[in-house]
Amino acid sequence: MKKAKTLEELKNATWKELPIGTVNPDPANSLKNFTGTWRSGKKPIFKKDTCIHCLFCWVYCPDMAIIVKDGKVLGINYDYCKGCGICEVECPTKPKSIEMVKEEVTLS
């Protein structure tokens, strides 16, 4: 019996096709699970002019949704951001470099 390997195969696998011990052969595949759809009503906006790149937003973000390259904040990954707003609260600059704004919710 062929064992399921890819995400699509795993989703549709019968119990006989599951890997032994349900060992997941596809590590970190939740990157294809876009939790940004959870956001309800508010989203963070990054303002690079006032940012001092302290990276507090990066360390306190529960969804690893702050994009950082070479120690600099580049923006927010809306594919995963659930919109909790911790980044805005923890941002030390005045005015805040991350601001939560209203977001229209479109139901698909």
For residue 77, state whether it binds another protein (rule: CB under 8 A). yes
Check residue 95 for interaction with another protein (CB under 8 A). no
The token duo for 94 is: 């005045």
Give 51 or 84: the residue with its C-beta nearer to another protein.
Answer: 84
Selected from 1, 2, 20, 32, the binder of another protein by CB under 8 A is 32
Give the integer Cα–Cα distance in Å for 97 and 54: 11
Give the separation between CA 82 and CA 65, rounded to whole angstroms. Answer: 9
Residue 101, interface with another protein (CB under 8 A)? no
Among 59, 74, 101, 105, indicate the residue that binds another protein (CB under 8 A): 59
State the pairing for strand pair 72-76/66-69: antiparallel
